[in-house]
């Protein structure tokens, strides 16, 4: 009987010891997890106080391309190519959506946007696109400058396309009811009756898109705006093409920015992107309408910008795609390097 009691007592002690050891190990484990968590919080707090940019991985690319697309210039077709190539060429494509489809940002949003896109490392390399006016990143204190590209179209063609687009839509989203749906007035009739929808001042869009966010940029017929648009085009844009030469524009981009546009020319030729979006039931204006529109100051200035872009683009295209006498593409190399 005595031995049985001793055995029971011993068993109870063993159980108690096991329970104590278990709780001690759990307490030690919890303390270790707490120390790890405390270290991570301290590390995070420390990193948040560092104001220098994070270093990129060796294989990362820091490039940013901004396509501030002008409405009704074939931009949907071009962006479609970028979206289809982004996975293959390993870059991001992001659409810039501004409230109420406005083309200019508030000053605070200009600053935030410039800081955001240049420091959003997880999204690099990236192509941003949206219907917005040019932004000078240097003026906004950004540490790096994006690469700007764009397309431009003959001003009257763009206006006529937009006029019928508001009434008839397009083949991209044919069932979407547009703002002027049901209005059967032709563009010729609109001009003849001097209606506001065909006012030549409505062409004043490509100039301000290249001019930027200054108030003068958006005054129709402003001469300073035209000169500023030309200045920005030459000094801040890598390349500006014309809608009528979309294929050549894509070819130039592939040759210049293969990081983004490798394979773009072949893809554009062999896909349906070349005719992705076309305005429905568009009627070309008659000669009297064209003559009347071309008398306006706004058309003359918008057309001057178009001709300026066309001349610049053809110059770049000839130099880039031209072959030497022996059919060899232009190259450059370094020599006579000193000291050896």
∠ at Cα 50 (45, 51), nearest 5°?
Answer: 140
Residue 45 annotated among the catalytic residues of the structure:
no
User: Across the beta sheet with 126-129, what order do the strands follow?
Assistant: 92-95, 126-129, 64-67, 147-152, 237-242
- CA nearest to 156, candidates 281, 309, 289: 289
What does the pLDDT read at residue 78? 95
* 290 burial via Cβ count (<10 Å: 0-12, 13-18, 19+): middle
Strands 64-67 and 237-242: unpaired
What does the pLDDT read at residue 55? 46
Alpha-carbon dihedral sign for residues 308, 313, 314, 318 = positive
Residue 213 annotated among the catalytic residues of the structure:
no
Query: Which position among 95, 103, 129, 231 bears the catalytic label?
Result: 129
Distance separating alpha carbons of residues 81 and 78, to the nearest angstrom:
5
Q: Give the phi and the psi of residue 149 in degrees, each rounded to 5.
A: -135, 160
What does the pLDDT read at residue 14? 72
What does the pLDDT read at residue 313? 97
What does the pLDDT read at residue 58? 40
What does the pLDDT read at residue 339? 92
Report how many helices (DSSP H) and strands (DSSP E) the chain contains, helices first: 12, 5
What does the pLDDT read at residue 18? 78
Helix (H) or strand (E) holding 241: strand 237-242
What does the pLDDT read at residue 47? 42
Per-residue pLDDT of the chain (340 residues; tens, 9 = 90+): 556 666 677 777 777 767 767 777 777 666 655 554 544 544 444 444 434 444 444 444 899 999 999 999 999 999 999 999 999 999 999 999 999 889 999 999 999 999 999 999 999 999 999 999 999 999 999 989 999 999 999 999 999 998 998 888 765 555 555 566 668 899 999 999 999 999 999 999 999 999 999 999 999 999 999 999 999 999 999 999 999 999 999 999 999 999 999 999 999 999 876 555 566 678 999 999 999 999 999 999 999 999 999 999 999 999 887 655 556 677 788 888 999 8
Query: Which position among 131, 175, 181, 231 bears the catalytic label?
Result: 131
**Which residues on adjacent β-strands are paired with residue 242?**
152
What does the pLDDT read at residue 97? 94
What does the pLDDT read at residue 41? 47
- CA nearest to 146, candidates 172, 131, 126: 126
């Amino acid at each position: 009987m005595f031995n049985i009691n001793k055995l029971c007592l011993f068993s109870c002690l063993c159980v108690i010891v096991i329970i104590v050891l278990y709780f001690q190990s759990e307490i030690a484990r919890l303390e270790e997890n707490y120390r790890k968590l405390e270290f991570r919080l301290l590390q995070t707090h420390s990193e948040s106080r560092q104001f220098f940019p994070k270093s990129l991985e060796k294989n990362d690319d820091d490039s940013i391309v901004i396509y501030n697309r002008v409405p009704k210039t074939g931009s949907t077709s071009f962006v479609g190519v970028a979206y289809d190539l982004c996975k293959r060429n390993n870059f991001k494509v992001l659409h810039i959506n501004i409230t109420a489809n406005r083309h200019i940002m508030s000053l605070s949003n200009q600053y935030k946007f410039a800081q955001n896109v240049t420091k959003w490392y997880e999204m690099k390399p990236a192509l941003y696109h949206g219907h917005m006016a040019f932004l000078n990143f240097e003026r906004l204190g950004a540490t790096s400058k994006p690469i700007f590209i764009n397309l431009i179209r003959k001003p009257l063609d763009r206006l006529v396309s937009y006029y019928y687009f508001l009434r008839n839509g397009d083949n991209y989203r044919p069932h979407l009811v547009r703002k002027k749906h049901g209005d059967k007035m032709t563009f010729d009739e609109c001009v003849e009756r001097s209606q506001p929808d065909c006012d030549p001042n409505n062409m004043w869009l490509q100039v301000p898109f290249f001019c930027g966010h200054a108030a003068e940029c958006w005054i129709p017929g402003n001469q300073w705006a035209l000169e500023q648009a030309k200045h920005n085009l030459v000094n801040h844009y890598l390349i500006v093409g014309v809608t009528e030469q979309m294929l050549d524009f894509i070819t130039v981009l592939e040759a210049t920015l293969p990081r983004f546009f490798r394979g773009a020319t072949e893809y554009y030729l062999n896909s349906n992107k070349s005719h992705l979006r076309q305005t429905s039931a568009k009627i070309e204006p008659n000669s009297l309408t064209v003559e009347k529109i071309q008398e306006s100051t706004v058309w003359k200035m918008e057309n001057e910008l178009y001709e300026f872009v066309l001349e610049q683009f053809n110059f770049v295209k000839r130099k880039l795609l031209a072959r030497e006498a022996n059919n060899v593409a232009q190259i450059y190399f370094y020599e006579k390097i000193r000291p050896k």
